[in-house]
Structure 1
Amino acid sequence: MALDTAWKLHPQVALRPEPFGALLYHFGTRKLSFLKNRTIVEIVESLPEHPNVRAALDAHGIGEDAARPYLRALETLADSHMIVPS
């Protein structure tokens, strides 16, 4: 995950909040993803508001030492085209 790159939800992806986190559905690929943590949901939703991933993590109080699981989740979303570079 490029920390200095801006990201956003793919235009064909819908995010539906759920009590456990959120569901992401990609209408183009028909893939479904689950976000099982409200913090990662908030980070994904806020990506367009920040100049890069590092700023999005910082805005949510995620320091370098705690960033690994969030970066892994974002990498998975990028690999499945749920999020794309802005």
Structure 2
Amino acid sequence: MTMIAETPRMLQRPWELSASVALRPEPFGALAYNFANRTLSFLKRPALVRVVEHLADHPDVHSTLVAEGIPEEQHDAYLRALRGLAAKDMIRPRTDA
């Protein structure tokens, strides 16, 4: 599947922070540590931290981006960051939705 095909799909799906992940606030954003696979990620924007923290509060990624005030022209950059976090199992699709 190409990145172009994945982007709309991710926007329309419900996501959440993985249960094994802890976020530690930092001046630049946050550190995300996955205790299950022992990976560390740097969330370099406070707005990205808010998006990740609130994914489970919204029906899909697009709704989360809008609710957190992310300008439409920045959505692609946030989607790239979220895809990277998903690849490291920092966030995962919600199954309860």
Q: What's the TM-score once normalised by structure 2's chain length?
A: 0.84
Structure 2 residue 58 is matched with structure 1 residue 50: yes
Structure number with higher helix proportion: 2
- Within 5 Å, give how 1:1-86 maps onto structure 2: 1=7, 2-86=10-94
Q: 2:30 is paired with a residue of what secondary structure? A: strand
Task: Show the counterpart of 2:4.
Answer: none
Q: What's the TM-score once normalised by structure 1's chain length?
A: 0.95
Deviation at 1:66, TM superposition (A): 1.8
* Identical positions, percent: 51
Deviation at 1:60, TM superposition (A): 1.6
The answer to which structure, 1 or 2, has the higher relative contact order (CA under 8 A, 6+ apart) is 1
Matches of 2:58 and 2:89 in 1, distance apart?
19
Q: What is the aligned residue count?
A: 86
Matches of 2:45 and 2:71 in 1, distance apart?
17
Structure 2: unaligned runs, 5 residues or longer = 1-6
The one-letter amino acid of 2:52's match is V
